[in-house]
């Protein structure tokens, strides 16, 4: 199963097996990765599952939709080039080994 | 003698949040979460959305993995209910007759669906959407039937109608009032959604009351005052919910269309708090008593309830927010816009991306946003901070609301 590495603000990391088709938010929740709040349960409605993807990895991801782009304007932590909502990133084999960093605040 | 446990009755979003917050607040004693369903706590919003359409399966609705409950030492008692609260003894009487003492008790009993009150409503192909089992049954019934009737033009009915159209079903939706989501949104937003559903092929009938349901040609016949209104293979009823207050009321706790709690989520008993859909609560943000059915209220009020259980005087002062997904339209509601005396539109209906901002006595009180998440998030911030916004600013795309909100 492809893996995703969740990096906490303190630098600690969790490597998690993510079934294809699951979102990175769901995988984080189901593996009890802290720092992903996901108040709306994946509806792209709350901007509390914000993550930073390493710039080099951005090309592996599907583009940001207009809705996600708007919600990223509303995150609690600053928006950077690598900002994504983890509920909007669906796992695929091509994303194996992806590292996402969790911001220090979501709300 | 060890201290009696903290007990939470109701294993929905609010119940889980109480437990989670208790552990985060440092409560290390025994913690028991009792739920009458057989499933561990799961998300309800997808039951009328992605779960119903088959896009996600039940395992993906769970809030937490089994390991979470072990790690946080939360004892889940599923498929169990409580018969009575014995407040004089600080004990619960469980369904099996056993007694369970509690040091503190949280009631997160939620709500149940309002049943269709007309004759013939009790039939196997009449469905409701409240819990996972309901939604699973409806999912299989939808796979087998082609003609769906929906009674109720609120969030649930409309979300189900949209899903069913997506699955290629024939859909007729009957709403007794003259507009959709009348409790929640303004007439203008109701009209937008009526057009949206009609454009997607829903046979939408407003001001239409069903008086009787009779078995019909391979399915059901819905009858009104002047004859047959519609025929369908299956019917979904979404006409609201009733708060589960019985346990509280029988224990002598004050109930008034909900379990009455104060700004600390405390009931009249110092050892009992309540949170979520079941409460009639003093809402610190609105400055009045209200019952809210939402994820936001379940989560935020539960946090306050947990704080009260550990003796911290936190106050529940949060801007209410809600959302609904219908087709490719996301409706997000901030604040409580109704009633209002002035409303302005930001953006354009024709683009399927606009917001209505509502003002009462010159003050911003809420906004409904259609595919305009920035407006929604900005409105939440503005409301929370009490930042003044004029109707002119709200209507003008030149005014950057998020910037105004950040400037606070």
In whole numbers, what is the pLDDT of chain B averaged over residues?
95
**What local confidence, expressed as pLDDT, does residue B60 receive?**
87
Could you report the average pLDDT of every consecutive run of 10 residues in chain A (107 residues)?
95 94 92 86 84 92 90 90 95 95 91
Asked if the C-beta of A22 comes within 8 angstroms of chain B's C-beta atoms, the answer is yes
CB B369 within 8 A of CB B342: no
Out of A29, A40, A74, closest to residue B374 by CB: A74
Contact A32 B68 (CB under 8 A): yes
Instruction: Look at A74 and B71 and tell me if their CB atoms are within 8 Å.
Output: no
CB contact under 8 A, A40 and B45: yes
Percent of chain B at pLDDT > 90 equals 91
A76 touches B at CB < 8 Å: no
Residues 70-99 of B with CB under 8 A from A: 71
Q: What is the pLDDT of residues B214-235, one digit of tens each?
A: 997 779 999 999 999 999 999 9
Q: What pLDDT digit, counting tens, does each position of B116-150 carry?
A: 999 999 998 999 999 999 999 999 999 999 999 99
Is some CB atom of chain A closer than 8 A to the CB atom of B299? yes
List, for residues B247-273, the tens digit of each pLDDT value.
Answer: 999 999 999 999 999 999 999 999 999
Instruction: Give which of A31, A74, A90, A91 to mutate to test B binding, by max B Cβ within 10 Å.
Output: A74
User: What is the spatial distance between Cα B167 and Cα B134, in angstroms, rounded to a whole number?
Assistant: 18
Q: How many CB pairs under 8 A join A and B?
A: 54
Å from B321 to nearest chain A CA? 10
Low pLDDT (below 70) residues in chain B: 1
Integer Cα distance of B353 and B245 in angstroms = 40
Q: Residue A4: phi, psi to the nearest 5?
A: -130, 140
Q: What is the DSSP letter of B169?
A: -
pLDDT of residue A107: 80
Q: What are residue B228's phi and psi, to 5 degrees?
A: -70, 130
Mean pLDDT of chain A: 91
ipTM of the complex: 0.86
CA distance A47 to A30: 18
Position B1 scores a pLDDT of 58
Name the one residue in this structure whose structure tokens are 């919600």.
A71
Compute the C-alpha angle B326/B174/B279, nearest 5°: 65
Q: What is the pLDDT of residue A41?
A: 77
Chain A CA closest to residue B379: A74
Provide the chain A residues 48-67 that lie in CB contact (below 8 A) with chain B.
Answer: 67
């Amino acid at each position: 199963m492809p893996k995703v590495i969740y990096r906490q603000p303190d630098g600690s990391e969790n490597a998690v097996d993510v079934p294809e088709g699951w979102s990175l938010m769901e995988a984080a929740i189901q593996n009890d990765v802290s720092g992903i709040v996901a108040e709306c349960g994946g509806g792209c409605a709350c901007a509390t599952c914000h993550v930073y993807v390493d710039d080099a990895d951005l090309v592996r991801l599907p583009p940001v939709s207009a809705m996600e782009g708007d919600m990223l304007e509303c995150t609690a932590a600053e928006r950077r080039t690598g900002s994504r909502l983890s509920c909007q990133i669906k796992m695929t084999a091509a994303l194996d080994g992806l590292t996402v960093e969790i911001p220090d605040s979501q709300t | 003698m060890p201290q009696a446990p903290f007990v939470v009755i109701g294993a929905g979003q609010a119940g889980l949040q109480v437990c989670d917050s208790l552990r985060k607040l440092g409560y290390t004693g025994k913690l028991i979460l009792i739920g009458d369903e057989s499933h561990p706590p799961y998300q309800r919003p997808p039951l009328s959305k992605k779960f119903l359409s088959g896009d996600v399966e039940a395992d993906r609705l769970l809030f937490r993995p089994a390991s979470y409950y072990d790690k946080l030492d939360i004892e889940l008692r599923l498929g169990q209910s409580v018969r009575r609260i014995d407040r004089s003894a600080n004990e619960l009487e469980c369904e099996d007759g056993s007694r369970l003492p509690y040091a503190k008790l949280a009631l997160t009993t939620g709500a149940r669906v309002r049943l269709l009150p007309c004759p013939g409503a009790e039939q196997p192909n009449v469905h409701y959407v409240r819990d996972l089992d309901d939604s699973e049954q409806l999912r299989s019934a939808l796979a087998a039937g082609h003609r769906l009737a929906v009674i109720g033009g609120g969030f649930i009915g409309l979300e189900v109608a949209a899903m069913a159209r997506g699955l290629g079903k024939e859909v007729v939706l009957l709403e007794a009032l003259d507009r959709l989501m009348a409790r929640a949104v303004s007439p203008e937003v109701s009209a937008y959604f009526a057009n949206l559903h009609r454009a997607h092929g829903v046979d939408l009938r407003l001001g239409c009351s069903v008086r009787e349901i009779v078995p019909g040609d391979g399915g059901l016949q819905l009858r009104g005052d002047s004859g047959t209104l519609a025929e369908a293979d299956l019917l979904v009823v979404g006409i609201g919910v009733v708060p589960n207050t019985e346990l509280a009321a029988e224990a002598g706790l004050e109930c008034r269309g909900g379990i009455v709690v104060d700004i600390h989520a405390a009931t009249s008993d110092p050892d009992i708090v309540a949170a979520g859909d079941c409460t009639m609560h003093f809402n610190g943000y609105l400055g009045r008593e209200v019952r809210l059915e939402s994820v936001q209220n379940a989560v935020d009020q539960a946090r306050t309830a947990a704080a009260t259980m550990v003796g911290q005087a936190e106050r529940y002062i949060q801007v209410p927010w809600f959302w609904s997904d219908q087709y490719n339209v996301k409706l997000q509601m901030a604040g409580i816009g109704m009633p209002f005396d002035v409303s302005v539109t930001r953006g354009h209906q024709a683009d399927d991306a606009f917001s209505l901002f509502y003002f009462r006595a010159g003050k911003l009180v809420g906004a409904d946003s259609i595919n305009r998440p920035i407006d929604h998030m900005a409105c939440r911030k503005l409301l929370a901070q009490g930042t003044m916004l004029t109707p002119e600013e709200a209507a003008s795309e030149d005014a950057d609301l998020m910037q105004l909100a950040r400037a606070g």
